Amino acid sequence: MNEMTINLNIDSEKNIVIKNSITENSYIIEYNTKEITAQGIYDVLSYKPNAIYKIENNIEKVTDENTKVYFQDVIDLVKTIIDDINVITNNELNDE
């Protein structure tokens, strides 16, 4: 089992940096476009079989309500993805 931590940090420009703490891969969602690509997310997750993900973020530092809602949506999105991957991994581990 490989544990990977995905960090989501929002900077002063409200860009969201998603970073894999193990592989150091990162992906940026720019605030002015708010565009997020599936390939970008996939690349940052750097999936390996048996990988278990957890998520960390700095939402507590966000004060602006609208920004908070926006950042929370991204966190939730990434979390749902990670949760699904963890289900796959757990199934594989159970099969073994």
Partner 1 sequence: MLNSIIKVDLHIHSKASSYKDGIIVEKSNIDNIDVLVDKIDENNISLFSITDHNRFDYELYSKINEKVKTKYSTTKNNLPGVEFDVLLEDGKPKCHIIAIFNDNDQDKLRELQNKMFSIRKLENNEEVYTLQEFEQILKAINIEVILIVHQKQALDNVTGQTDSLSNATDNPYEFIKVGFIDALEYNYPRVEGIVKNSLRKVDLDTLIITGSDCHNWDNYPYHSTPNGKERDFTSFKCLPTFRGLLMSITSFNTRVNRLENQNEHYISSISINGVDYPLANGLNAIIGDNGSGKSMLLNLIANGDKMYYKPLIEENNIISRTNSDDFQKEYINYIEQGEIVKSVREGNLFDDNEMKYYEDIENKDIFAQKIRKYFNDIYDYVIHNINVKESKEELKRKKLNITPINKNFFHPVVKSDINVEEIENDKKRKTSLNSIYENLKLELDNNEEYYKALNIYDKLQNNLKELKEILDIVNKNYEEKKNRNTVRNLIKKHLDNYKIELDSQRTSEETERTRIIEKYDDFRSTIINYIKIENEINNYPVFPTKMNGSSIKLYKNYEFKKHTAYHNIDLKDSFYKHCFNSDYANEEKIRLIETRDEFSKALKNSSIKEIELFKTGKLEKFISECSKETTSISEISSKENIGNTPGEISLVYYKFLIQEADKEFYVLVIDQPEDDINPSRIKNYLLKYLSSIKDKKQVILVTHNPLLVVNLDVDNVIHLTKVNNKIEVKNGSLEYENDKYTILDLIKNNLDGGYKAIERRLKVYERDDN
Considering only residues 28 to 87 of the shown chain, the ones binding partner 1 according to CB under 8 A are 29, 33-39, 41-42, 45, 47, 49, 66, 69-70, 73-74, 77, 80-81, 84-85
The residue (of 58 and 80) whose beta carbon lies closer to partner 1 is 80
Shortest Å, Cβ 76 to partner 1: 8
**Cα(66)–Cα(53) distance, integer angstroms:** 27
**Total number of residues that touch partner 1 (CB under 8 A):** 24
Q: Are 21 and 63 in contact (CB under 8 A)?
A: no
